[in-house]
Structure 1
Amino acid sequence: MLSLILFLVVVLLLGTVALIVWPILGHGSEYVPNSEEIRWLRSTSVVQDEKGRKAFGRATLERRGGLNVLKLFGSHYEMGYQHGALLRDEIQRGAVPFYGRPTENLAPFKHMNKVMRVLLAKYFDWKIYRPLLKCSPRQYLAEVKGLADGSGLSFADVFRGNMLSDLNMNLIKVLEKKALKQGGTDGCTSFAAFGNATVDGSLIMGRNTDYTGGGLWDRYQTVVFYEPEDGHKFVSVSSAGLIKCNSCMNEKGICLGAHFLFLDDTKADGVSFTFLEMEIMKKAGSVEDAIAVVSQNPRAGAFAFLIVDGKANEAAVIEASANHVGVRRPEDGVIWETNMATTEPILSADVLLRNGIGKNPIARFERMRMLIHENKGKITPELAAQFMGDHMDMCSDSLRPAGGIISQVSNLTSVVFRPSNFDFWVADGLSPVCNNAYRGFNLMEELADGYGTAKPTMLEPNEYVKTPDYTALRKYYEAMVSFTVPPTDENAALAHLEEAIALRPQEALYRRLTARMLLRRARAADAAEHLRRALECVQSPSERAQAHLLLGFANDLLGRRNDAVQCYQDALNVPSSGKNGVLSAVNPFVLADAKRFAQAAFSSDDAKKIEVSFEIIAKHDL
């Protein structure tokens, strides 16, 4: 009997080890093309001319300003291999390895112990990534494999690196309570205007991609021109190693902007929205074609697309979950989208709206509505660039560096499209990239192997960049990168925050975030001073309540229990203005924590768990 028990224990241990070691996502070898194509690609070398332009067979890479400009041709495996070979170093240093190991690099997972991180990584592989893999169209897996082979990364890391949004979408369902408290990492703002809304009647589209990965994605931003052998030619503005078409336009004049939605109607065994973007670019010649691609495919995750047709002056927002698709049409020549449900089939699944939170996407939605309607009939590409770099915070009715503004600190790609003549402009610089000048291109001229330039050749950024506030924002960006990009350095992050405060002492956000970091480090007295100063600044009611709450934490850690209780009561007493709904309401998690810690003192163990979010998406910010 004892021998049988020992045998079963050994089998169980070996089985556990096998599950941990076994490559759940495989090596991608089943997606490679014929041996002749493989042999040709592996025998081809990257060559560089005297101007620094690189070539790999027909594919080319050059730098224009701070942008990589990549031109790819052929089968999906071939285009992936070209991409990987020409941007090998940038891919290895960029966003893909960072996204490809979420339990090691992303909060809250990276704060867990090593065993938990390993087990959670395997859980994600089994429950989310593997079902996604099984439902992915073979040609796009061939492109992922080509990228891996060309860049020297593993197939699994490149696949995961391109599926981070799908992981986050499915976590809202799998871990709804936890996901709700984390708030998520993905934002985006898009708009389109045409007819009477624009100066000349032509369609103008503005598009911001907001995503985690500042310091990685933005450093290797890449404009990719695709000439696939199985569909329309198109351009996608992304980053080295990513095949996401979050901001793209095809040769038929169809443009797409993709948006994360916080819905609980999700599943992993469907087609990733990343691959649906590719399908639309290759196959759609109209808005209705794009709607059909989304409607007729099994869908993973939850997302929205703003689709425009620059030739027909048509547009639509498509909102999709696993089981439903909603479509919203323009009103009087304008339409816009952020990250909240707006169509009837999808509204009931929106986790943020259902719980009375979501200041960030609601604020951006309302601000874009205001900008469009205040400037109706005046909209041009130049004005669109101003919209995308806007810093007005609807919650505090003031210009702010981060938070519920269109110009998110996590803005990694910003593009203005004029698809009637195939002009487009790409913001060139570090995040928020929408605060940089936009460099012009022309899709059809580039596809003709020319140097395509739009008219005007450049679009100027928003006036905010000329203010002292912007100088402080650059220090805030440096703090964010130090805190989030490996190897992380919290000391450097704190130092950069102090520099931002010195430049802009009246910005509550900088002081509040500094206080959070100080509380985690048991520097309660220093945190309390920043919070007292923060309460003197312009801010929203919810921010003010949060500052009182954090000051209560500091007082508890300093042993000043009576002062702490008063701070918690002050947080509960902050009035919410009813005129703007969620935007002027105090965050429910702030109120819940104020009630909780008024009853039981905040402890040093609690301090170690304080969230620090430079994107301003922690639970107290929602």
Structure 2
Amino acid sequence: MVEIPTVQPLRVYRLAGTQREMGRQFGALAAADGGWHAALDLYANRPTMAATMAAASMPHRFRPIVERVADAFLAPQRRRLQAIRSKQFPEYTERTRETFRAMGFDDKAISATFVMEVLQNLVGLASRTGMFSRALNATAVASCSSLAVWGSATVDGNLRHARNFDFPGGSIWDRAPLVTFCTPDAGLRYGYVSARGLDAPGITCFNEAGLTFTVHTRFHREVGYSGPSVIDLGHELIRTCTTLDEVAATARRLGATSTWGLICSSAAERSAIIVETTAKRVEVIEAEAGADHLSCTNSYLHPAFQNGETPPAPDFRIDSLDRRCQLEAFVDKYRGSIDTESLQWLLGDYGGVDIVDLTTDVQRVDGTSVVAIDTVASIVSVPDERRIDVSVGPCPTGFGPYASVPWTWDGPVGVCEDELEIGPQRGRSHHGAPLSDTERAVSHRIAEIAHRHLEKAPPRASLTALSNLIDELPNEPALRRIVGQLSILVGDPAAALPHLDHALTLEGTPGLREKLLLARSRAQSLLGDERAAQADRDEILRADPAHAPLEYASARRESAKRPTQRSLRNMTIDLLHLDAR
């Protein structure tokens, strides 16, 4: 049985001085603490995280060579962005250099800060040129969910900002959580949430003026190599801005080198905005007059960007919209009573919208909800109480428990040794009940299996590990589906059928049911039962193709030309969504 990873105690650092001095301080503290090697290896050493994420969309046997090619292709892009950064933000460049030196890395490693820019730009370029078409079936992409609430939405009118950070760094980011408070020699005092060894101020951050920022991946054709990285953009915004108008003006002035959505909330103004970027322009979405919340996931919301949006996988936009619908439904249901604890429950809630169970005993630890297998950081910022609650549990981190971290800029540089208050476990099933210990444990184990898959564990190893979880959650349709799909991939369609048959007695959700039908049709076809296979394809073709575009296209194609075992060996494994396609 796969073991649930151990999470190191949450660390809190205080830094002060110039950016260069704070970089040196951070590096020294991280080097003394330890526990940072996996995180830095993820970004700085080959295969880099960007190459791993790009190669994850390929059949397993091709991934090592694709990683090498991707690293060779992406390295010049990172160096180009680093050269531009040195001119735009020399003080931030020096900060990163000092951090890396203190931890034993040479200066070449600092271009690793552009991991997401080069990956998102690769997807954008692929959509424009038609090259690397498999990249548009990417499986390891970041996807996050944020919700800012205030006024009539909350129990006391105060603003709160909740966020799940979903990133293919499970069993790395979540294993060593870190909160860092910075007192710069110029600008506002600010803080950020990351992991040991990762000095990334612009991703999940807050400042003494009561602003909170959380960053979300976007994908678009308009990519380039001339603007700031999202880490530097977020860093500059959180260090210099006190109001939402200042955030909007500064973002428009600076621009970005890639495709992002940054939601920023202001406790003083009781409002929030979303800054959306491509390499060519910046647009701002404001909360409507009288609004009491604003939600953000991973699809462009501004009409100017929607035409050129390039989702990296067929389900990406559907998943993003479903998560945003869940956030909106949460506000509608609990308006007037939302507090910090209810937001913690939300971040661990499997209750996505439009889920259809065919029986009353369906279990779910995957699906269209804000909980993701790769949720590596979960926070609730409470500026009016001058604190941020940070999950200290393993991936998916939305289950908590949450440590309450006071905003503590005052005090000496170094590790803050104050004892932190840690609350209870969270997590809610799609039925609305608290998660059982078994459901929570299986979720954590699936996250670890997914991480090992990204590290190139063989498909048979993933199949064995996932099969061992079936007895614990026998009525989890997504778990049955991926076991069936992997059985087909390794050449055992007969073993797949019982899992797929049982899952289809449970799953009625549009889109998810079509995935099961396609998998079963393939198993039946390989076993020679073409009549049964075509019956499943016909059910897919009668459904709305908008719910499952890839499955609809595959059913049409395979109705004309039966799949072969050889062709199905090339399925892409997406363990982050318990799927193979």
Summarize the alignment of residues 255-334 of structure 1 with structure 2, pairs less than 5 Å apart: 255-331=212-288, 332-334=291-293
Flag the 1:99–1:337 CA change in 2: closer, same or farther, 3 A.
farther
Aligned partner letter, 2:346: F
Provide the residue aligned with 1:220 in structure 2: 176
2:124 to 160, 173, 189: 173
- Tell me the CA shift for residue 140 of structure 1: 2.1
**Structure with more relative contact order (C-alpha pairs < 8 Å, separation 6 or more):** 2
Flag the 1:305–1:438 CA change in 2: closer, same or farther, 3 A.
same
- Tell me the CA shift for residue 119 of structure 1: 3.5
- Tell me the CA shift for residue 602 of structure 1: 1.3
Flag the 1:501–1:447 CA change in 2: closer, same or farther, 3 A.
farther
Give distance in 2, aligned partners of 1:397 and 1:67: 38
Aligned partner letter, 1:223: V
Look up the SS of the partner of 1:408 in the other structure: coil
Flag the 1:102–1:448 CA change in 2: closer, same or farther, 3 A.
closer
Matched, 1:108 2:57: yes
Provide the residue aligned with 1:249 in structure 2: 206
Aligned partner letter, 2:101: D
Summarize the alignment of residues 113-132 of structure 1 with structure 2, pairs less than 5 Å apart: 117-126=67-76, 128-132=77-81
Summarize the alignment of residues 3-82 of structure 1 with structure 2, pairs less than 5 Å apart: 66-82=9-25
Summarize the alignment of residues 349-498 of structure 1 with structure 2, pairs less than 5 Å apart: 349-352=308-311, 358-397=317-356, 400-444=364-408, 458=423, 461-464=426-429, 466-467=435-436, 468-485=438-455, 488=457, 490-498=459-467
Provide the residue aligned with 1:557 in structure 2: 526
Provide the residue aligned with 2:28 in structure 1: 85
Give distance in 2, aligned partners of 1:383 and 1:187: 22
Provide the residue aligned with 1:133 in structure 2: 82
- Tell me the CA shift for residue 90 of structure 1: 2.3
Look up the SS of the partner of 2:246 in the other structure: helix
Give distance in 1, aligned partners of 2:503 and 2:40: 34
Matched, 1:611 2:572: yes
- Tell me the CA shift for residue 303 of structure 1: 0.7
Aligned partner letter, 1:239: A
- Tell me the CA shift for residue 317 of structure 1: 1.3
Provide the residue aligned with 1:33 in structure 2: none
Provide the residue aligned with 1:535 in structure 2: 504
Task: String of CA shifts for 1:65-115, please: whole Å, max 9, x gaps.
Answer: 731222223333333333333323422222543575147633136753755
- Tell me the CA shift for residue 565 of structure 1: 3.3
Flag the 1:293–1:478 CA change in 2: closer, same or farther, 3 A.
same
1:510 to 479, 485, 500: 479
Task: String of CA shifts for 1:531-566, please: whole Å, max 9, x gaps.
Answer: 122211134221211112112222333344444333
Provide the residue aligned with 1:600 in structure 2: 561
Flag the 1:184–1:405 CA change in 2: closer, same or farther, 3 A.
same
Residue pair 2:144, 2:166 contacting (<8 A) in 1 also? yes
Look up the SS of the partner of 1:591 in the other structure: helix
2:103 to 151, 156, 159: 151
Residue pair 2:149, 2:293 contacting (<8 A) in 1 also? yes
Provide the residue aligned with 1:545 in structure 2: 514
Give distance in 2, aligned partners of 1:327 and 1:225: 28
More deviation, 96-105/326-335: 96-105
Provide the residue aligned with 1:346 in structure 2: 305
Residue pair 2:372, 2:576 contacting (<8 A) in 1 also? yes
Residue pair 2:140, 2:576 contacting (<8 A) in 1 also? no
Aligned partner letter, 2:52: N
Aligned partner letter, 1:603: T
- Tell me the CA shift for residue 294 of structure 1: 1.2
Task: String of CA shifts for 1:571-606, please: whole Å, max 9, x gaps.
Answer: 323x33xxxxx9xx4311111111112222212321
2:536 to 557, 560, 567: 567
Give distance in 2, aligned partners of 1:355 and 1:531: 22
Task: String of CA shifts for 1:505-526, please: whole Å, max 9, x gaps.
Answer: 1111001111222222112211
Residue pair 1:226, 1:233 contacting (<8 A) in 2 also? yes
Aligned partner letter, 2:159: L
Give distance in 2, aligned partners of 1:212 and 1:457: 26
Give distance in 1, aligned partners of 2:303 and 2:275: 12
More deviation, 611-620/542-551: 611-620
- Tell me the CA shift for residue 417 of structure 1: 0.9
Mark the runs of 5 or more structure 2 residues left unpaired by the alignment. 1-5, 128-132, 358-362
Task: String of CA shifts for 1:288-309, please: whole Å, max 9, x gaps.
Answer: 1211221101311111111112
Provide the residue aligned with 1:208 in structure 2: 164
2:469 to 490, 500, 508: 500
Aligned partner letter, 1:513: I
- Tell me the CA shift for residue 273 of structure 1: 1.1
Look up the SS of the partner of 1:218 in the other structure: coil
Look up the SS of the partner of 1:501 in the other structure: coil
Summarize the alignment of residues 571-586 of structure 1 with structure 2, pairs less than 5 Å apart: 571-573=540-542, 575-576=543-544, 585-586=546-547
Give distance in 1, aligned partners of 2:269 and 2:419: 23
Residue pair 1:84, 1:91 contacting (<8 A) in 2 also? no
Aligned partner letter, 1:532: D
Aligned partner letter, 1:135: I
Provide the residue aligned with 2:130 in structure 1: none
Name the Cα RMSD after superposition: 2.8
Give distance in 2, aligned partners of 1:255 and 1:193: 12
Give distance in 2, aligned partners of 1:386 and 1:289: 32
- Tell me the CA shift for residue 475 of structure 1: 2.9
Look up the SS of the partner of 1:316 in the other structure: strand
Residue pair 1:385, 1:460 contacting (<8 A) in 2 also? no
Flag the 1:103–1:383 CA change in 2: closer, same or farther, 3 A.
closer
Superposition TM-score, scaled by structure 1 size? 0.81
Look up the SS of the partner of 1:426 in the other structure: strand
Residue pair 1:247, 1:256 contacting (<8 A) in 2 also? yes
Give distance in 2, aligned partners of 1:151 and 1:387: 37
Residue pair 1:548, 1:568 contacting (<8 A) in 2 also? yes
Give distance in 1, aligned partners of 2:283 and 2:220: 13
Flag the 1:182–1:617 CA change in 2: closer, same or farther, 3 A.
farther
Aligned length: 546
Name which one, 1 or 2, has greater alpha-carbon Rg. 1
Residue pair 1:182, 1:619 contacting (<8 A) in 2 also? no
Residue pair 1:131, 1:270 contacting (<8 A) in 2 also? no
Give distance in 2, aligned partners of 1:482 and 1:611: 15
Mark the runs of 5 or more structure 1 residues left unpaired by the alignment. 1-62, 577-581
Give distance in 2, aligned partners of 1:542 and 1:68: 41
- Tell me the CA shift for residue 258 of structure 1: 0.7
Aligned partner letter, 2:39: G
